[in-house]
Structure 1
Amino acid sequence: MPKLPVIKGRELIKFLETLDFKVTRTKGSHSRLKSEDGRATSVPVHGNKDVPKGLLRKIIREDLEMDLKNFYDIYSKYKGNK
């Protein structure tokens, strides 16, 4: 299984927008995103800090409803690593 990538909050939001998520609201340093099919997630944007690995894993598995391998493949294509 590939390692989780290190992602900053703003970068994760931009990536999720390519997956048809829209920012519905922002309060403080957290942005709430929702997709048309009803999936929703909250992403912290704390300056230039990375999203913690545990939170990223939770967002992928529970909020995006995909496995880590599938996420890694899609994210790699987004970043142009393949």
Structure 2
Amino acid sequence: MPMTAKEMIKLLKANGYVEVRQNGSHKIFENPQSERTTTVPYHCKDLPKGTEQAILKQAGLK
């Protein structure tokens, strides 16, 4: 089942990511410890499978 943007943001925050800025309907998160940055589109209910996988890979969670 695809994740929603809210679920993805909750997962990122649970893993130490903080929202650093927002550009339109995209929220940018950064992990201060690992200095990794990832962007979450916040304009659709379910994230497309490829987008979900890319965010997890960028965040180092996959």
TM-score (normalizing by structure 1): 0.67
- The AA in structure 1 aligned to 2:42 is V
Structure 1, gaps ≥5 residues long: 68-82
Superposed, 1:3-82 pairs within 5 Å as 5-36=1-32, 37-47=34-44, 49-61=45-57, 63-67=58-62
Q: Could you list the per-position Cα deviations for residues 40-79 of structure 1 after superposition, in whole angstroms to 9, with x for gaps in the alignment?
A: 10000115x1111001111122x12243xxxxxxxxxxxx
Give every structure 1 segment of 4 or more consecutive aligned residues whose post-TM-superposition deviation is greater than 4 Å. Answer: none
Q: CA RMSD of the aligned region, Å?
A: 1.4
Percent identity over the alignment?
A: 31
TM (normalized to structure 2)? 0.85
